[in-house]
Amino acid sequence: MIYEIRQAGAKGLGLFATNPIARGTRILSERPLLAIRQDQDVDGIFYAAKSLTKNDKKALLDLSGHSGGQHLELVRWMQVVWWNVKNLVGSVRQPSTITSSIPSIRSMQEHMAIFNVFRSNSFNLGGRGRIQQAVFDNVARINHSCLPNAQGNFHSTLGRFNVHALRDIKSGEEVTLNYLPELGAVAASRGSKLRKGYGFECDCVACDLTSARGKLGEERRAEERKRIKEFAATVEKNAEGLVAELKMTERFIQLFEAEGITGREVASMYFEVAKLNVKLGRRDEAIQCAEKGLELDEYCIGSDHPTYEDGVEFIKALKSKN
């Protein structure tokens, strides 16, 4: 095993490298402990929990769960009570099941705990495949950093969530993921989302605005946000607009690379720039950008991922055009 789960100071448990891990290594690969489908909402969480084995339910309830603060806690309680009432009404229609279905406070508390664990630990798995959101046992022990050294991606064909090293990780170093969907946000916005969603104050190097590194990153991100707003206000969809969009995306790539961010999002920006170059008739530049994107994808999602395979096909198609 190249990792272990142990105490990570005030963060609770965390996942740590037990050996040096090279960039691109698949650190772990897990099937979901609890998953909901695209057509399911909150109810899906409770239905899925009902069919868990005793051990899996224990594993789920052992995970950390943040209540989401006063407002969210109230909303969650309402959803739990509503679900239990709905079930009771269902069992009244089938009187033989009524005694075992009357909700107890204990069962509602358990539903609330399941709900909190799900909301604090689940990942949105993106467009492909039937599963929409899921919790993974060991992945759920990975703490957050705004400058993470690993990235998680769901592999829909394997039905597994894979975590890949975004850079070389030293033995003993904590493995971290970015919990936030938006890259390039400034510290205040990241802090507010992490506080509300997960109940912690991030102390990663990007959030330490008293350090030179933190300050520099913050200035870069703020500057880029300003440019995006200006760009959005002025952009036009003609050739000039395409060039402006291309330049803007390239600047984003530079910002993220300067910050040390090299995951799937940056790979997808390289593919965006490649597509813009195609529209502008610049095939060689397009191939170069797509190859760079594919190289990043190989590290962060692995060459067996369907998105990687799409990238290979994209480049093949570009190369075959005369």
Ligand X SMILES: C[S@@+](CC[C@H](N)C(=O)[O-])C[C@H]1O[C@@H](n2cnc3c(N)ncnc32)[C@H](O)[C@@H]1O
Binding site for ligand X (CB under 6 A): 11-14, 63-64, 66, 120-121, 140-141, 143-144, 198-200, 202
Question: Sign of the C-alpha dihedral, residues 158, 162, 167, 173?
Answer: negative
Least Å from the CB of residue 120 to ligand X: 5
Using the minimum distance from each CB to ligand X, give the nearer residue, 119 or 275: 119
**Cβ-closest residue to ligand X?**
12
Using the minimum distance from each CB to ligand X, give the nearer residue, 206 or 278: 206
Non-local CB neighbours of 110 within 8 Å, separated by 6+ positions = 61
Least Å from the CB of residue 258 to ligand X: 22
β-strands 150-155, 131-135 pairing:
unpaired
Least Å from the CB of residue 12 to ligand X: 3
Using the minimum distance from each CB to ligand X, give the nearer residue, 163 or 289: 163
Least Å from the CB of residue 21 to ligand X: 19
Using the minimum distance from each CB to ligand X, give the nearer residue, 66 or 292: 66
Paired tokens of 276: 């813009």
Q: Give one word for 152, left, alpha or beta, with left for phi > 0 and alpha for psi -120 to 50.
A: beta
Least Å from the CB of residue 62 to ligand X: 8
CA-to-CA separations, 173 to 6, 21, 66, 231, 260, in angstroms, rounded:
12, 10, 25, 40, 17
d(CA 133, CA 106): 26
Using the minimum distance from each CB to ligand X, give the nearer residue, 13 or 52: 13
**b/e per residue 59-97 (b: at least 16 CB within 10 A):** bbeebebbbbeeeeeeebbebbeebbeebeeebeeeeee
Using the minimum distance from each CB to ligand X, give the nearer residue, 130 or 196: 196
Tokens 């990241």 sit on residue: 190
Least Å from the CB of residue 200 to ligand X: 4
